[in-house]
Amino acid sequence: MELKGEREIPADQETTWKALNDPETLKACVPGCESMEQTGENEFEAAMKFKIGPVNARFKGKLNLENVQPMDSYTIRFEGQGGVAGFGKGTADVSLEPIDAQKTMLRYAAQAQVGGKIAQIGSRLVSSAAAKIADDFFKRFARHLTEQGGPSA
């Protein structure tokens, strides 16, 4: 499964970068996220729950940031286990580019694999659910930056 897009973020590049690396901001913005903890430099553990079609899933997983170019880009490598619901793993390349002093363009390209019950419900449904999760994340992220003025720290 592939997912790519770009979003205009209502914050400068530095604020956007800090928010993308802040576990509390991410927890508040990722739909269904129950916990997000930094476990080391560029390493996080997360737990989230969501529903795709008839499958309710609770995933626990790890995220590692690689190829980090501060303020500009990184690659997120993720893998998670959802028990009988299955598993998910993949990568996402994220880059930031200033539009002006108050706005940043965020671009992403993700590739993911799923297995187990989630894979059995069909790639079209899984892709559509992933696109909705991404869309919900960006709406929450933009609202969080507008309301909070940046990362929650």
Calpha distance 103→80 (Å, rounded): 32
Per-residue model confidence (pLDDT) at position 151: 57
Per-residue model confidence (pLDDT) at position 102: 94
User: Average pLDDT in the 121-134 region?
Assistant: 82
Q: Which residue has the tokens 């994220």?
A: 94
Segments making up each domain of the chain, as ranges? 2-148
Per-residue model confidence (pLDDT) at position 150: 54
User: Average pLDDT in the 111-133 region?
Assistant: 83
3 state DSSP class of 128? helix
Read off the pLDDT of residues 67-105 as tens digits, 9 standing for 90 and up: 999 999 999 999 999 888 888 899 999 999 999 999 999
Instruction: Return the CATH fold of 2-148.
Output: Alpha-D-Glucose-1,6-Bisphosphate; Chain A, domain 4 (3.30.530)
Closest C-alpha among 125, 100, 107 to residue 12: 100
